[in-house]
Amino acid sequence: PQRSLSTSVLRGFQCIPASDLPAADILAFAQGLQKEGAELSGAQLSCLARLLAAKNLTAEFGRFPPDLLLFFDLSQVRAETCREFYARASRGNLDLLPRGSSRRTGLLRGALACLGVRSSRLRPEQLDGLGALVCDMEPETIAASDPSVLENLKLCPALTGAQRDALNAVLLGGGTVYGDPSSWDLQTLQNMGPLLLALNQTTLSLVAEAAREGFSRSIAAAYGSQGRSQREKSLTLLRAFRAASASSHPRLKRSTDRCPSTPITASTVSSPFFLLDYTSSEELDLCLSNEVLEANLEPLLEQPLPKEYLRVVKNKLQQIYGSEIPEEQLKLFGPLARQYTAEEIGQWPAMSGDTLAALLDPSGGKWEAPQVQQLLSRYQAAGGTLTGPLLQTMGGRNLCNLQEEQIEQIPPEAIRTAGQLNISSCSQTKKDQLYRKAQEAFAGQAGPTRAYYCQIRSYLGGAPAKDLKDLAKAGIAIDMDIDTFLALNPDEMQKLSVTDVKNLLGENLPYLKEAENETSVTRWVTSQSQQELDCVLGIGLQGGMQEPSPAGTTPTPHPTASASITPPVPATTVPTPTAVGSLPTANPSTSP
């Protein structure tokens, strides 16, 4: 039956080997992601792309979400459909790929070659096919291209300073659909969307003040319903628009001992102009009374307060409560909680699981290891023990930040119900410890089974070689993904035989060739017989030990893993206009 897109499936579907599911089910699952609007991690998308390739299902790429196409094997993109492929892939979330990574720059190069780009000036039809890939173009290319490049730049999550300068140059040069900045009205500003975040003061100063004020009011009207990240963008715009009007609206000279403006009240705390009206932490300190703070802590902390503002709030709460902060207030702290040292957290009252979960919410920012350790101590002081949902909220990174003694106190039931956790940041000692916990949690399985492997997969970084060999010999299709294999303890990996590795990776064995330059893989290869690597694996791994040569013959040295038969391709970089001009046009008989 078709698998539903439940949370458990989305967390663990990487465990599903291609041989376990009919092609129709894999296809339905991938297409379902598009209909459901489900968001997956890069690792999950990469795994699903491999599953589709294993079943030869990649030809119907138009029915898959653009994010998934970012992880397709570009060497398999056909010349006759490359334009459609890159046009769709360029609508994906490029933040899934690190900026400057070989895969991300490979997408840009492949698209440029497919579109036949031979100069730094991109034409409208070329820009249509490049989508968000323009976000990685050089500023000179942006400035030289057709003005419709602005529509591509709307897709960029972030632009460099030089790219923003080029964007403003395009707007000031005329010829865009928006016209001259002096003619912009409220509708024009709304149509520009994300481009507004890149406007400099030179461009904004040309916009009529009535248009700026009207747009500021529209931002303010929507501010109350926005989340934290959107509020930060709104404030960036409001600051920029206010700065453009600063010369005509000078602020009064501030006093150093009293509030230089209007004292903060319950109504001003929630205002979208709050951080624009109180522009320094000193002013906040002078204008915010302890009484208003205590009564309005929640709406105040919903504002995207800078760290220096948070420190003012922290000092005022110290004046109000000392170290006895009420638990109901602690639940509201969010980013403010990260301003407290581990020693200060240790003085907080014992807290419930709900309070701990609220403080661990990742939207509040990252915790340092000593802080997490103290948070758990305050929860345990109230008699609390970690549960599966709390571990899921905590996440792998914070789990790795706990002390070994605290990890030892985690009950197996919590591990069993926590779902997949990424413990890659753990020390090897903690990985070993968590693996033993997971073994106990999933001990009810009758011997190694596929279900057992799926449950314990994320903890295999702490598995000894004996257990890995047992999985390899269990007679079940493990089909371990390459990321899990690379996360194994390198010392334990060295104890695996060639047959062990073949049985563990199964259908994913070809991806071992792609990872041959990883330190742990190179080390493993050099300790294996080259003849066995050739005969058992047959994927072209080189650098293994040679068999003794027969008497009277001269041994032929084998190339090492770092000097394989096919020379490694150097890391690509974002094309400069010169590089763009030298790219070949797409050959209709070959892939780009």
Q: What is the pLDDT of residues 290-316, one digit of tens each?
A: 999 999 999 999 998 999 999 999 999
**Burial of 6 per CB tally in 10 Å (0-12, 13-18, 19+):** exposed
Helix H or strand E segment including 441: helix 428-441
* Look-up of token digits 């050089």: 138
Structure-token pair, residue 358 = 């609220």
Q: Between 380 and 221, whose confidence is greater?
A: 380
Residue 212 has pLDDT above 50, yes or no: yes
pLDDT given for residue 417 in this prediction: 92
pLDDT exceeds cutoff 60 at 7: no
CA geometry: angle 193, 199, 205, nearest 5 deg: 115
Give the residue among 39, 42, 52, 51 at the shortest CA–CA distance from 10.
Answer: 39
**pLDDT at position 528:** 95
Indicate whether this model's pTM tops 0.95: no
Contact 269, 292 (CB under 8 A): yes
Local structure of residue 250 (DSSP, 8 states): P
Split at pLDDT 50, 70, 90, the class of 20 is low
**Confidence band for 575, pLDDT divided at 50, 70 and 90:** very low
Task: For Cα atoms 454, 456, 462, give the angle at the middle one, nearest 5 degrees.
Answer: 140
Q: What is the pLDDT of residues 408-441, one digit of tens each?
A: 999 999 999 998 899 999 999 999 999 999 999 9
pLDDT for 342 beyond 90: yes
Task: Please name the residues in contact with 225: beta carbons below 8 A apart, sequence gap of 6 or more.
Answer: none
SS3 272: coil
- Residue 5 — very low, low, confident or very high, per pLDDT cuts 50/70/90? very low
CA distances from 23 to 112, 426, 572 (A): 33, 37, 34
pLDDT tens track for 75-102: 889 999 999 999 999 999 998 988 888 8
Q: Which residues, 6+ apart, have CB-to-CB distance to 50 below 8 Å?
A: 481, 508, 511
Which two three-digit tokens encode residue 510? 């070809």
Nearest to 327 by CA among 337, 316, 342: 337
Q: What is the pLDDT of residues 370-415, one digit of tens each?
A: 999 999 999 999 999 999 999 999 999 999 999 999 999 999 999 9
